[in-house]
A and B are shown apart, each in its own frame.
Chain A
Amino acid sequence: MTIIAENPIKTVVHPSLVQQKVVASLSRRHRKEKLFRRTGLLAVLISLALVAVLFINIFSKGMPAFWQSAITLDIYFDPKIIKIPEKPQQQADESENDFRQRYLAWQTEVGFVNFNRLITDSLQKILPDATKHRRDLARVVTSGERFALRDMVVADPAIIGQTRTLHLLTDANIDVWLKGNIDRSLPDEQQQLSPKMRQWVDQLAADGVIQNRFSLALFMNPDSRSSLASAGLAGAFMGSFYMMLVVILLAVPMGVAAAIYLEEFAPRNKITDLVEVNINNLAAVPSIVFGLLGASVLIGWFNLPMSAPIVGGLVLSLMTLPTVIIATRSTLKAIPPSIRQAALGLGASKMQAIFHHVLPLAIPGILTGAILGVAQALGETAPLLLIGMKSFVASIPASPFEQASALPVQIYLWQGNELRNFFEARTSAAIIVLLMMMISLNGLAIWLRKKYEKRW
């Protein structure tokens, strides 16, 4: 064709009227062809660029939040401040309960100790003009760190009287200031930190006392509102973990069983047709509707606890079920009937043929579908909001029946925090964690498919 386009006249011997018309229109048509093709390529490039922009945007925002400013202090566990009785030991004649009560009473007493004094005393040594600005002094280290000191004393009271070098998280506003997430030229009344603080912080940062350190708090701590700098993902992570456990234990076996019945046993009639349409529809029902189901049935009728991972897990299981069923069915469908016929021909029952011969061959495909379903459930937010999981939970749940948050819900909660300068980065960091988990799940699914995929 391109040859014709280059020498349109030479090849034509007796140009009829139609031919003339065609030849005349050729260059226009080829231009159109090129344009169409380029538009297609452009659409592909735009889509790829959107993926890139999305990831680069989130990662560039979130990566700095994995490092957080921390101050290195020599903390002297001053016996004059920490005046506590000896740590109780269980006596031989004491019951478990009495001991626990005594121990709790002792812990409460430790809790009354002013651990902030330890921090401010230590700060005073490195900040010569500190005594005049006591209020500022108390705000350098984020308030949650005093509990870390308390926990150290509770774990080992022998520490009293000794000096330890610790890395303590600074206040969230200091982190914002040092990372340049706030305009330094703003007038005093718009700054979160007092002029004295800013001078201290810059000096400490220059001296290397305040440094950016990898933020373990982000991974080890539950959410916090009183001490923003130490707010972490541990609680949400455990909540998501329990929910995924419920999904894996419920949705996957149930989905596989349902798919086996529908694909291998069910007679082809109106009822199974209805079931099939129903499952396809269920897969396309908006997720928020499942949240309504959870709110009215699981919480309203069955009186299950609000905000508990068990309820979230049940809702997500119902939501994932169609995905698992559809994936399993298509895997079963792809296994050639000759396998079944061979088993049946040798005298196996239908059940034996399927469970001993068909199912083992389908396992890679089923696993892939199950993993994709779990990944989808992991990122789901809307239904969880309706069953009360958007409430603030400041502890790490110890069982699926306790109040908890979830990773995507934590992202939702953090993006709404008032301290935008600090939490925009932290939210992006949480998103990175979530995306990493989803990418590894999807990667696992792809790897499984590549490794075990069979063409029949």
Chain B
Amino acid sequence: MSNLSLIVVLLVLLALGYQLGMARSRKVATVNADLRMHSRPHHYGMMVGLWAVLPAFFILLLWLWLSPAVINAMVLAQLPAEVASQSADQLRVVSQRISNLANNFGVVADAAQWELNAAEHLRQLKANSAIVLTALMAVIAAVGMLFSLLKITPRLKARHQVERVVKALLVLCSTVAILTTIGIVLSMVGETLKFFSYIPPTEFFFGTTWNPRFSTVGVGEQGNFGLVPLLSGTVLIAGIAMLVAIPLGLMVAIYLAEYAPLKLRNTAKPVIEVLAGIPTIVYGFFALVTVGPFLRDLGAAIGLDINATSALTAGVVMGIMIIPFISSLSDDIITQVPKSMRDGSLGLGATKSETILKVVLPAALPGIVGAVLLAASRAIGETMIVVLAAGNSPALTANPFEAVSTVTVTIVNQLTGDNDFSSPQSLVAFALGLTLFVITLLLNVMALVIVRKYREQYE
């Protein structure tokens, strides 16, 4: 990893520039004893270090970005004519082979002479490129360091320069979150549009059959990409989860906020919140080997035919996972309701439960609805529990005792670790992902708006 060592050298240079700059600024200060230095010595040090490292670092990034393509083109230009005239795909295979040979990966005995030559050429080019890069960076770093060292005078506003760079860095970091969102949207919209060039959107959004045949035999044999059964499975499981989580979570929140002695509250709350920290794969395994068989046996005992992997299994376990989301958020909101409202109701003779049901809960309702929406978005986007416990059968059914499939499961199934996104079978994953993204986004925004509005009421 010569690039890594270059970065290490840059870090060393940073430290060196820092020390040199500090020393130089102290010297300047003693020479011009009558003048006050504008900044502290470490600012001058930092400035010199940055001047030494930043330009060289940009050169490194630029080089890493551009040089592979240039080198590849130079190698291909040297190939014999009959090889060079092949199609782009074949050329890619050729250059892959050459680079393997150059890295001593391939079997040397099988290689043709021109391949060996090209590999040797490539090796040389790479070595040259590394030397040129190192030299270039050394020159630029040296120039930057010298330039900034000579610039140091009592008047130089080194602190301002350093602070400007630091601030730029901070701004850069805070744009990453935006870039991520843009990246998500752009990449998914791009691949989704590609998918819609195979399958019309109406067929995708309103089709009631999900059967993406895996081989792309012909254009007429595309398979069915109907979203409806997946969406119904998602909604079914999320609905069951909410049926489990809302009553339990809400009652837990009410009891802990209004009734529980402080000691119980302080132990029970973190223990229940442990449920939120457990990895979802653990819930999936729990559902698959424990809850599923238990529900099946329970169903058999009362004469119901329940699949071990069914919407019910996945929904119940997901509900358990979501309890702490609802209980914690609702707890916060219930405790935010002003005490005067409770006192007023109690003073009129209402019992505590009447106060809670008729005064506190209505006041907290918007916040609770927000919490429920957030929990619902979590349930819809949940993957591992459903992958393991829902049975993966994309049938349009409302029977919770049967196996179903969901949007997330299908994404996992369609992207089977293949990075060739050219068939509708793999592209559909992005269309599904975009659908999922939009649905959860809507739920989140709705929740945020409701919670914000509520917060304004009492502040």
Contact = CB atoms under 8 A, between A and B. Distances in A.
Interface residues of A, number: 88
A261 B174 contact: yes
Interface stretch (B121-129, B202-210, B270-278): B270-278
Contacts of A351: 163, 166-167
B176 interface: yes
B277 A265 contact: no
Contact of A50 (B183, B275, B280): B275
A293 B417 contact: no
Given A281-B441, A295-B419, A386-B415, A47 B433 contact: no
Given A292-B187, A382-B408, A431 B285 contact: yes
A382 B378 CA distance: 14
Contact of A381 (B289, B354, B384): B384
Contacts of A42: 251
Contacts of B62: none
B290 A33 contact: no
B212 to A, nearest CB: 17
B237 to A, nearest CB: 14
Given A37-B259, A385-B412, A286 B282 contact: no
Contact of A296 (B171, B181, B187, B351): B187
Contact of A33 (B268, B274, B280, B352): B352
Given A58-B286, A349-B163, A431-B282, A281 B444 contact: yes
A297 B187 contact: yes
A29 B184 contact: no
A63 interface: no
A375 B436 contact: no
A300 B421 contact: yes
B338 interface: no
Is the contact region of chain B dominated by helix, strand, or loop, or is it mixed?
A: helix
A435 B444 CA distance: 29
Contacts, number: 258
A43 B417 contact: no
Interface of A: 1, 22, 29-30, 32-33, 36-37, 39-44, 46-48, 50-51, 54, 57-58, 61, 253-255, 257-262, 265-266, 275, 277-282, 284-293, 295-297, 299-300, 306-307, 318, 321-322, 325, 349, 351, 375-376, 378-382, 385-386, 388, 390-391, 408, 411-412, 415, 424, 427-428, 431, 434-435, 438, 442
Given A43-B247, A254-B173, A261-B171, A284 B421 contact: no
Contact of B440 (A1, A265, A285): A285
B281 A46 contact: no
A440 B374 CA distance: 28
A51 B252 CA distance: 14
Given A43-B251, A286-B408, A381-B279, A257 B173 contact: yes
Closest 7 CB pairs of A and B: A286-B381, A379-B279, A40-B255, A43-B251, A257-B173, A258-B174, A382-B383
B323 interface: yes
26 contacts: A1-B351, A40-B252, A44-B252, A47-B252, A58-B282, A253-B173, A258-B173, A261-B170, A284-B377, A285-B184, A286-B440, A289-B188, A292-B430, A293-B187, A300-B419, A321-B177, A321-B180, A322-B177, A349-B159, A351-B163, A379-B280, A382-B280, A411-B282, A412-B281, A412-B284, A442-B277
Contact of B417 (A1, A32, A306): A306
Most buried by B among A253, A254, A295, A321: A295
B297 interface: no
B320 interface: yes
Contact of A32 (B180, B351, B436): B351
A253 B280 CA distance: 27
B254 interface: yes
Given A57-B286, A286-B440, A390 B174 contact: no
